[in-house]
Copies of this chain bind each other. A is one copy, B any other.
Amino acid sequence: MFSNSSKYAIKAVLFLAVNSSESHRIMVKDLAAPINVPQAYLAKLLQELSRGGIISSKKGPKGGFFLSKENVQYTLMDIVNVIDGNDKFNSCLLSLEKCNADKPCPLHDLASPSRSKFIQSLNQNTIDEFSIQIEQGKVFLPL
């Protein structure tokens, strides 16, 4: 479903959403442990996310990663797009070009609408909304 890299990236962003702020930045080494991701690999992913504008960073002493007010408006789909490239979810399950609602492939109706609803969720829910859910104790972070 998600690549390992995307899973790691999502976990990192959610952790930052809850635990970091403009004034309280988090270093790679303090992020890698709690979300259970190899530090060196995570560093690379964070740099991609940073370049992609999904997260913010500050170099040097007292530096680290954090989410700005803008960052927190991105969605899970934005994260996946930066890490894995676009169109991981927008195509036919069998990658058939001619598959559509009029001439569906055998898996089309099996997948849709449950699938399209899922994809919609990836596109709609912001990071901010997730962190609210976490703070309200509705979902849990041990990552």
Contact = CB atoms under 8 A, between A and B. Distances in A.
B139 A105 contact: yes
B95 A7 contact: yes
Given A11-B94, A93-B2, A95-B7, A130 B114 contact: no
A106 B139 contact: yes
Give the 5 A-B residue pairs with the shortest CB-CB distance, closest first. Answer: A114-B114, A106-B139, A110-B121, A114-B117, A114-B118
Interface in A101-131: 103-111, 113-115, 117-118, 121-122, 125, 130
10 contacts: A1-B93, A2-B93, A11-B94, A14-B106, A96-B142, A98-B142, A105-B140, A106-B140, A111-B118, A113-B114
> Copies of this chain, how many?
2
Contacts of A143: 94, 96, 105
Contacts of A113: 114
Given A110-B118, A111-B118, 6 more contacts: A10-B94, A106-B141, A110-B121, A110-B125, A114-B114, A114-B117
A94 B7 CA distance: 5
Interface in A14-55: 14
